[in-house]
Chain A
């Protein structure tokens, strides 16, 4: 649905502050991105998208960063580029992180739709279609399974039943 647009180099300390790391995800999520967008965590709706420029998620390895976004119902992340560690963490949690050269053309509040078969982001507000780089095949199955944990669960089950 709606795009929430952020800038370059949004770091994990900004996504989820360190002082909240001792809490469970439902208590961390209300602080998600509060330093740059105080209204975000209360106004973001399930199915919304987070859109950013370069190097989204740089900084620490804390998985609570993508976990908080997922907990708030964010359907996918779209950015010009992601920090590598954050990218792996997001996919491991089943949260699609889409690398899109045209991410900067998306404006705050634009309505988006994602077509995973065509690797396209459709901007319904701007009547634009933007291509994203396909998620590598070996990871897409894991994302479809809902992340690494359910993916492993499935694999281990297959092993015990076969």
Chain B
């Protein structure tokens, strides 16, 4: 039977030669990732109640990113529990204040094509960019994985998003996702596997592919997948197996687009599905530009913003929270960070920051912001009266320079 990439990955984890969409299977988990918010502080008391131990500490990765920097007693306690628990549980894969989990995980070599992984965060489909089946689970479900090493799954159908051609300069993976979410809605992915294919996808660097799979969460897919190729191998600095769909495997839907036709996209408050081309928003004048999060502040994202901001000044308050410490160092070394700072950017810690709305600094009442993050739900990033427009790092940077929502292509000609 011809199989999709999703079916092949699930079949391997279920110990089967093939699986059929819709059937319920039990999969062995190769990797379980947790962060400080949904991780140790939630699973530790449940493990104690069961008197159970972690099934395989070598397969668990813990990364602190949500309550950093800790700013009050509660957040300090949450971080302390994470630090203490990894020691007690014998978990060596612990990354403390190194950046956001979805970026740190592959950066430290924990993902490989062919793996089956769960993450205690909704943006866990990011791992699918490495041809690994990865999806988000809640704390209790994570407990189940930690105790048994297994998880049930309804074998997904595959929805193919096929982008031919090549993106224009100033248009990015973020624009592709905002476009798809606008077109198909927040439940367009139907909790199935969304596979990104086509010439335009093959041309994307790894971190841009991660943005596609990351925002599969907002598209409502269980995971986003991209077949592995030489770009994957170069990023991982190792020769890995090629995992891809069989050419004629049956899929639920196959949508075809020409990447070259795509304009920069902007999503208006309060939904990532409120998307239109950037030109429709020229009258919007934000007061804050935010470049942050796993979705929008990886090294590639910082480079996009710097291409626009180079030798220009931001008219808006411009905040940049690089997604990982390693990406920040790389941006320092290649001059990207200097271009951002010279344009007037303020540098924030390598953490989830304002995107999650968990910290001290959140958006005040009535603030209008443009952000490279993934979600603009009401009240998510601060006051319920704040208005967040989502866009690519290029468009956020162009807006910062122009003082109004602006097409970045004007600056890149």
Please judge, given known A-B contacts A22-B78, A84-B191, whether A35 and B378 are in contact too, CB under 8 Å: yes
| Contact between B138 and A59, CB atoms less than 8 A apart | no
Q: A35-B379, A63-B140, A152-B148 are known contacts; what are 8 more A-B pairs with Cβ within 8 Å?
A: A9-B273, A13-B375, A13-B379, A13-B380, A55-B220, A59-B375, A148-B141, A152-B144
Among A40-48, A86-94, A107-115, A124-132, the one that faces the other chain is A86-94
Q: Which among B152, B358, B378 is the interface contact of A138 at CB below 8 angstroms?
A: B152
Can you give 11 contacting A-B residue pairs, CB < 8 Å? A13-B375, A19-B362, A22-B358, A83-B186, A85-B122, A88-B141, A89-B140, A93-B140, A147-B140, A148-B143, A149-B140
| Contact between B384 and A62, CB atoms less than 8 A apart | no
Chain B contacts with A in 54-106, Cβ cutoff 8 A: 67, 72, 74-75, 78
Contacts of A81 in B (CB 8 A): 187
| Contact between A59 and B139, CB atoms less than 8 A apart | no
How far, in angstroms, from A23 to B74 measured CA to CA in the complex?
8
Please judge, given known A-B contacts A13-B357, A62-B38, whether A89 and B138 are in contact too, CB under 8 Å: yes
Chain B contacts with A in 198-253, Cβ cutoff 8 A: 220, 222
Residue B120 at the chain A interface, CB threshold 8 Å: yes
Total interface residues in chain B, CB < 8 Å:
49
How far, in angstroms, from A9 to B141 measured CA to CA in the complex?
23
Please judge, given known A-B contacts A22-B75, A89-B140, whether A152 and B377 are in contact too, CB under 8 Å: no
Contacts of A54 in B (CB 8 A): 187
| Contact between B37 and A21, CB atoms less than 8 A apart | yes
Contacts of A59 in B (CB 8 A): 122, 375, 377
Q: Which among B187, B220, B384 is the interface contact of A35 at CB below 8 angstroms?
A: B384
Contacts of B380 in A (CB 8 A): 11, 13, 18
Q: Which residues of B contact A (CB under 8 A)?
A: 24, 37-38, 42, 46, 49-52, 67, 72, 74-75, 78, 120-122, 124, 135-141, 143-144, 147-148, 152, 154, 185-187, 191, 220, 222, 271, 273, 356-358, 362, 375, 377-380, 384
Please judge, given known A-B contacts A13-B379, A17-B379, A83-B191, whether A149 and B74 are in contact too, CB under 8 Å: no
Closest beta carbon of chain A to B267's beta carbon, Å: 13
Q: Which among B42, B50, B135, B185 is the interface contact of A153 at CB below 8 angstroms?
A: B50
Q: In the complex, what residue of chain A is closest to B273 when comparing beta carbons? A: A9
Q: Which among B74, B138, B147, B375 is the interface contact of A63 at CB below 8 angstroms?
A: B138
Chain A contacts with B in 1-55, Cβ cutoff 8 A: 9, 11, 13-14, 17-19, 21-23, 35, 54-55
The 4 closest A-B pairs by CB, nearest first: A84-B191, A63-B138, A18-B357, A89-B138
How far, in angstroms, from A152 to B140 measured CA to CA in the complex?
11
Closest beta carbon of chain A to B150's beta carbon, Å: 12
Closest beta carbon of chain B to A23's beta carbon, Å: 7
How far, in angstroms, from A81 to B191 measured CA to CA in the complex?
11
Total interface residues in chain A, CB < 8 Å:
36
Residue A100 at the chain B interface, CB threshold 8 Å: no
| Contact between B140 and A22, CB atoms less than 8 A apart | no
Contacts of B135 in A (CB 8 A): 85
Please judge, given known A-B contacts A63-B42, A84-B191, whether A58 and B186 are in contact too, CB under 8 Å: yes
Most buried by A among B49, B120, B379: B379
Most buried by A among B49, B72, B140: B140
| Contact between A61 and B375, CB atoms less than 8 A apart | no
Closest beta carbon of chain B to A107's beta carbon, Å: 23
Please judge, given known A-B contacts A14-B377, A61-B138, whether A22 and B143 are in contact too, CB under 8 Å: no
Chain A contacts with B in 131-145, Cβ cutoff 8 A: 136, 138
Contacts of A55 in B (CB 8 A): 185-187, 220
How far, in angstroms, from A55 to B220 measured CA to CA in the complex?
9
How far, in angstroms, from A89 to B186 measured CA to CA in the complex?
18
Contacts of B121 in A (CB 8 A): 60-61
Contacts of A83 in B (CB 8 A): 186-187, 191, 220
Q: In the complex, what residue of chain A is closest to B192 when comparing beta carbons? A: A84
Scan A50-83; emit 1 where CB is below 8 A from any B CB, else 0.
0000110011111100000000000000000101
Residue A156 at the chain B interface, CB threshold 8 Å: yes
How far, in angstroms, from A65 to B169 measured CA to CA in the complex?
40
Contacts of B51 in A (CB 8 A): 156
